[in-house]
Structure 1
């Protein structure tokens, strides 16, 4: 389960203020192992951990233009240019109804949209 950064900070503040790990787990409804894990992570990791939606924040119109200009780009090349993961690009292409096949005869998604 993914917990919010705010909850993580509240738990860590509670323990830093003298509360026990067990009390923190009970008070904030998380497991003791989660509290231990959070305490073992460096402080910069706790604050900067990306949420599940961070990797999806890129301009899909930019992706569409990239495909129009260079239709032979690999997903990993597009991801690198956009600064996101390969999965983020693959998922965006799927949501846009675009199939990434090298044989243009097998790319109805691109031809139907004029790409």
Structure 2
């Protein structure tokens, strides 16, 4: 939880009046470390709370993905991701969303015989 800007400013005003950080922390209910951090931020001119920037999920251009898969049907997921500049798991989810199957048939059987074939 972030403290309000008013409370931060009040703590800095009390510091300027000569109160100690311990006294201010008891009065306002904020930790001494928070007050020290606010003081440092105020010197830099950044008193407001710093929140991490939210970013949306990466969207793959569906048409570009479909075109690449059509031209390169045997490409591995890592190759597709590199070609369209995305991460592998993003490509995986996009392929599922577009209902494009990536299963590949084995080119040879285990022992070289068909299932129903009998050996003489």
Radius of gyration: which is bigger? 2
TM-score for the superposition, normalised by structure 2: 0.44
The structure that is helix-richer by fraction is 1
Q: TM-score, normalised by structure 1?
A: 0.45
